[in-house]
Amino acid sequence: MQKRVMQAVCACLALLMATTFCLPLFTSAASEATNKYNELQQQLNAINSEISNTKNEKDKTKKQQQQLSSQVSIIKQQITLLMQDIEDKQAEIVLKQEELDTKKLEIRTSEDVFAERLRANYIQRNQGTLSTLLGVTSFSELLTAADALQRVTVAENDLLQELADQKAVIEAAQTVLDEEMTALEAQEVELDAKKQELAVKLETSNANLSQLDATLEAQQSEYDEIYKQYVEAKAAMEKEWQNSLGGDYVGGEFSWPVPNFFYISSPYGYRPNPFNSAVQEFHTGIDIAGGGANIKGAPIRAANAGTVVRASYSSYGYGNCVMVDHGGGYKTLYAHCQSLAVSVGDYVAKDQVIGYVGTSGNSTGYHCHFEIRINGSHTNPVPYLKG
């Protein structure tokens, strides 16, 4: 009992020491290629958001332009209608003028006729008056003759007055028409000014749009340029991964390789050989098993990012196995797989599925044999695993 407690304390101390002394090894900085790749990706994101801002602004300007264009076409329509009104008004004015001219002619003719008649009357009157006067036998006859002359003059005067009144009516109508025409012309001036104003706005909008197009083009070519660098950086980074043997450690902690299965059927260290219990052997990793649950075919995930340096059937008892190089001398091994999901040279991300739990090779049941090797030497993986 005491021995067990001591073992537990030792294990705890070992774990503590491993944790304390091993963790600094995992905080190595990311590689230059990775930094460059990340930096370029950030730049691409920034330019992308600039491009989408410019595109939004362009859409807004285009909408404004459409509004201005429709306003211009409304004004143009109004001007066309107004021009028609002006034309109609001009025709009315011409008709009114003709009417006035006719009336004036009528007046002049009437005046001429009247003057002629007056002259004739005068002559006749003078003669008539004379003859009348000579002919009248009484004073009352003389009065009647003079009265008749007077009545003729009054009738002519009335006619002339009537014509003058008609002329005045026409002239008044003409004044109204002139006023209406002036109002229409003022309206035309106003519409022209509005049209001019809209034309200036439209011009400004066009200039803005051209400016935005130029900006967009510049941003697009900047994007293309950085994208080219990004593709190169990505290739460089991947190449670095491919050649990462002996490179810097990828950084971060290792994650548990078979999620949801935490039962360790056989720990790291000395144990009896599963096929011959009389022989002690050193178990170079841990066996992660179902512990009652069905682990067959469960996905095995890369404990950390790295390059696959082995993905094949091992005749040394590992069966189908995968080995991943994480840089800095760290490698992980996953054995007895049912099938593999990666090939040698693949760059795998942390937690990427690399194979499925099986019982291939020297195995007595479905489990994943997991090892961590540091500079080629196996070590107890447990202290390195998160959780």
Name the site residues for Zn ion (rule: CB under 5 A).
Answer: 287, 369
For residues 230 and 334, which CB has a smaller minimum distance to Zn ion in the complex? 334
Of 334, 165, 188, 342, nearest to 261 by C-alpha is 334
For residues 96 and 331, which CB has a smaller minimum distance to Zn ion in the complex? 331
The string of DSSP letters for 276-325 reads: EEEEEEEE-SEEEE-TTS--TTPEEE-SS-EEEEEEEEETTTTEEEEEEE
For residues 37 and 334, which CB has a smaller minimum distance to Zn ion in the complex? 334
Burial (CB count <10 Å: 0-12, 13-18, 19+), residue 332 = buried
Distance, CA of 242 to CA of 306 (rounded, Å)? 8
Of 189, 207, 170, 211, nearest to 86 by C-alpha is 189
Find the shortest distance in angstroms from Cβ 369 to Zn ion: 3
For residues 139 and 270, which CB has a smaller minimum distance to Zn ion in the complex? 270
For residues 252 and 267, which CB has a smaller minimum distance to Zn ion in the complex? 267
Helix (H, G, I), strand (E, B) or coil at 71: helix
For residues 201 and 296, which CB has a smaller minimum distance to Zn ion in the complex? 296
CA distances from 331 to 22, 253, 343, 375 (A): 15, 13, 16, 8
Of 263, 291, 288, nearest to 356 by C-alpha is 288
Find the shortest distance in angstroms from Cβ 304 to Zn ion: 20
Find the shortest distance in angstroms from Cβ 321 to Zn ion: 11
Find the shortest distance in angstroms from Cβ 306 to Zn ion: 21
Q: In 3-state terms, the chain is what percent helix, strand and coil (to 5)?
A: 60, 20, 20
Residues in the chain: 387
Question: Element (H or E) spanning 370, and its range?
Answer: strand 367-374
Find the shortest distance in angstroms from Cβ 357 to Zn ion: 12
Find the shortest distance in angstroms from Cβ 46 to Zn ion: 49
Find the shortest distance in angstroms from Cβ 47 to Zn ion: 51
For residues 226 and 286, which CB has a smaller minimum distance to Zn ion in the complex? 286
Beta strands in 138-209 (DSSP E): none
- C-alpha 311: how far from its chain's center? 47
For residues 215 and 265, which CB has a smaller minimum distance to Zn ion in the complex? 265
Of 167, 219, 198, 186, nearest to 58 by C-alpha is 219
Determine contact, residues 116/123, Cβ cutoff 8 Å.
Answer: no
Helix (H, G, I), strand (E, B) or coil at 334: strand
Q: Which residue is nearest to Zn ion (CB)?
A: 369
For residues 240 and 287, which CB has a smaller minimum distance to Zn ion in the complex? 287
Find the shortest distance in angstroms from Cβ 368 to Zn ion: 8
Find the shortest distance in angstroms from Cβ 355 to Zn ion: 15
